[in-house]
Amino acid sequence: MKNLLGLVILGCILTSSVALAEPSLLVVFPQTNYQTSAQKIFFLGTAPPDGQVSINNKPITRSKAGHFSPSLPLQLGENLFTVRHRNQELQIRVTRIATVAELPQGLAFAKDSLTPATDIARLPGELICFSAIAPPNASVSVQLANQTVTLLPQPEQAQLPNNLAALTGQNQPHGQSSVGNYKGCITLQQPDTNSFSLIYGNNIISGAVVPDSSQEVDLGQPQFQLTLNGKTITQPGNGKVKILSRAELPVAEVTVDAGVARTGPNTDYSRLTPLPKGTRAAVTGKEGEWLRLDYGAWINSQETRTLPGAVPPQTIIRSVGYRQLPGVTEMAFPLQVPVPVSVQQSDRALTLTLYNTTAQTDIIRLDDNPLISRLDWQQETPERVKYTFNLKKAQQWGYKLRYDGTTLVLALRHPPKIGNTRRKLLANFKIVLDPGHGGKESGASGPTGYLEKDVNLAVSKLLRDELVKRGATVVMTREDDKEVSLAERQAIISQEEPAIALSIHHNSLPDDGDAEKTKGFGAFWYQPQAHSLAIFLQNYVVKNLGKPSYGVFWDNLALTRPAAAPSVLLELGFMSNPDEFEQVVDPEEQKKMAKAIAQGITEWFRSVN
Ligand SMILES: [Zn+2]
């Protein structure tokens, strides 16, 4: 999983030539001068099994082969660690950085604490909030468009750990002092009378004149003011505030194959259904380079172009068409303009939602179909139509969305037929195998410095051979130690349209993970169509190989996101666990693993058919 090339070999140069041949003390993680915000960190390395390894004079436990991965606490700031084995010594410096902005001393705002932190544009009537971190007992306010907004000290708010915390089971919120956290909001109304009113807290202030309501209004940069002990400073905010005009909302068109729609204005926010190329929508908000589209999702403006003079896209829909192709049913939705869409899979159903769409539908033809038992549709809101494809079987085999001009095409893939000979049960199956990482993208490292990319490839080749033995056609995303981008791997799955896609990895942990204890087999999925395969393989391998179970995770990963085929990512074991690493690199264990996964896939196919 993680990329760790912090190989530091110090001791050996100092000792005699005989010593050079002998394996020496090795720490692969952390590298010296490593920076982290974690409160503890694990050290991963190895040394000859005889003798003792100590860190800061404390002996540490090691595996039979001499590998180690103890976790050590970190103080804020610089931490110095001395790792010793016999006459070899390593010095490693790790700096722990604070996660909360430091409270400023004296008359100043905390660095980078003023928000909005970038240019924003909002609709009239929307809440706009400002915040700043400043010394306690100060008075803080914002000047905007010759109005003053008071920012008040805020009550304590919990801090959520980042998503990776789910991998170490430490994802509980932790308290965060909000001392010095000031916040205040305003709402801008823009009635026809060309005046607007400010509402913040419970007060309404009105009267200031907006030049022309049909135009976007630039309110300029908010000026943050801080008063403490009778002294005042003013600091401009980091972005401008604009009020969009409802009468002249910009219209954006998606220019990439799959525009990444998100729940908010940066990549921390979750992904929604990607928008096919050509999708158009009105822009109802901006934040930095992110655009909020009229149906609520955000997209990066770099994936769009603006259509000057266009009015907000709306369409009616009449009939829905379909055509049956070998292995696929294509549903065609003729529209006047490509509108935003979303897809949701559930058991025995797939729903497609069209936004900014109003139905004028009287007829839909859909004969008996190998996949679809019945199509239901509903005008959910005046501008949203939902289509529910009720399916004959629980397992779904992939879908694709595209716009052909203004017609949305949803291609639903049919189930592959299981082979009719006991030996070649996978005869009709194409499987994409993706050995994780490759080339200079090495993935995780084991305590000896052995790299994840190499064991991923070794086991994937063994798995390929096992699958081919069972009749499958296997397409590998790489067959040697080369770099293949995540986009290229996704494209292979989309082009090959396999029955399933499997990405093979070996795991490691975030800095504060407990590497000594954490081990086991893990399965990762994202699209509901991949869930049953993930669960099945997890149970099958854990049961049949007696492996510890690390767990099954819904995870937003490049190789679990493909919708074109059920795509699962497997973490076969931990590079960062000294004992499990021994099994990871053992060729016999690798063979057993490959066989178990291949048999698991075969049993799963039988179970879903
Ligand atoms: Zn990996």
For residue range 66-116, list pLDDT tens digits in order. 999 999 999 999 999 999 999 999 999 999 998 777 777 789 999 899 999
Same domain, 496 and 455: yes
Same domain, 91 and 133: no
* 451 Cα to the center of ligand 1, angstroms: 10
pLDDT more than 90, % of the chain: 81
Q: How far is CA 436 from CA 439, 484, 506, 529, in A?
A: 10, 9, 8, 22
Q: What is the DSSP letter of 608?
A: H
Same domain, 288 and 326: no
Q: Which amino acid is at 149?
A: V
pLDDT mean over 505-527: 96
Same domain, 188 and 68: no
Same domain, 320 and 391: yes
pLDDT mean over 337-356: 97
CATH number, domain with residue 264: 2.30.30.40
Q: Does 532 fall in a domain?
A: yes
* 521 Cα to the center of ligand 1, angstroms: 13
| Residue where a domain stops, chosen among 288, 306, 324 | 306
Is the pLDDT higher at 224 or at 189?
Answer: 224
pLDDT category of residue 178 using cuts at 50, 70 and 90? low
For residues 95 and 78, is the Cβ–Cβ distance under 8 A?
Answer: yes
For residues 337 and 322, is the Cβ–Cβ distance under 8 A?
Answer: no
Range of the domain at 457: 430-608
* 340 Cα to the center of ligand 1, angstroms: 34
> Phi/psi of residue 224, each to 5°?
-85, 130
For residues 300 and 344, is the Cβ–Cβ distance under 8 A?
Answer: no
* 381 Cα to the center of ligand 1, angstroms: 43
| Residue where a domain stops, chosen among 243, 259, 291 | 243
pLDDT at 602 over 90: yes
* 1 Cα to the center of ligand 1, angstroms: 3
* 591 Cα to the center of ligand 1, angstroms: 19
Q: Does 418 fall in a domain?
A: no
pLDDT mean over 584-606: 97
Q: Does 282 fall in a domain?
A: yes
The predicted model scores a pTM of 0.90
For residues 318 and 334, is the Cβ–Cβ distance under 8 A?
Answer: yes
Same domain, 595 and 518: yes
Same domain, 493 and 569: yes
Same domain, 449 and 367: no
> Phi/psi of residue 76, each to 5°?
-60, 140
For residue 25 the two structure tokens come to 């003390």
* 481 Cα to the center of ligand 1, angstroms: 14
For residue range 431-452, list pLDDT tens digits in order. 999 999 999 999 999 999 999 9
* 509 Cα to the center of ligand 1, angstroms: 11
Q: Does 420 fall in a domain?
A: no
Q: Does 419 fall in a domain?
A: no
Give which of 559, 355, 550, 306 is closest to 456, Cα–Cα.
559
| Residue where a domain stops, chosen among 221, 243, 265 | 243
* 321 Cα to the center of ligand 1, angstroms: 43
Is the pLDDT higher at 210 or at 320?
Answer: 320
* 455 Cα to the center of ligand 1, angstroms: 10
CATH number, domain with residue 576: 3.40.630.40
Same domain, 490 and 585: yes
pLDDT at 200 over 70: no
CA distance 233 to 239: 18
Q: Does 558 fall in a domain?
A: yes
CATH number, domain with residue 147: 2.60.40
For residue range 457-485, list pLDDT tens digits in order. 999 999 999 999 999 999 999 999 999 99
pLDDT at 188 over 70: yes
pLDDT mean over 418-432: 80
* 572 Cα to the center of ligand 1, angstroms: 10
Same domain, 362 and 291: no
* 72 Cα to the center of ligand 1, angstroms: 24
pLDDT category of residue 428 using cuts at 50, 70 and 90? confident
* 504 Cα to the center of ligand 1, angstroms: 8
pLDDT category of residue 202 using cuts at 50, 70 and 90? very low
Same domain, 67 and 149: no
* 2 Cα to the center of ligand 1, angstroms: 6
CATH number, domain with residue 62: 2.60.40.10
User: For 136-213, where are the alpha helices, taking DSSP H only?
Assistant: 165-168
* 520 Cα to the center of ligand 1, angstroms: 14
Q: Does 424 fall in a domain?
A: no
* 244 Cα to the center of ligand 1, angstroms: 44
* 77 Cα to the center of ligand 1, angstroms: 30
* 585 Cα to the center of ligand 1, angstroms: 15
* 76 Cα to the center of ligand 1, angstroms: 30
For residue range 352-395, list pLDDT tens digits in order. 999 999 999 999 999 999 899 999 999 999 999 999 999 999 99
For residue range 116-165, list pLDDT tens digits in order. 999 999 999 999 999 999 998 999 999 998 899 999 999 888 888 888 88
Q: How many domains is the chain built from?
A: 5
Which pLDDT value is given to residue 425?
A: 83
* 437 Cα to the center of ligand 1, angstroms: 6
* 592 Cα to the center of ligand 1, angstroms: 20
Q: Does 82 fall in a domain?
A: yes
Same domain, 538 and 587: yes
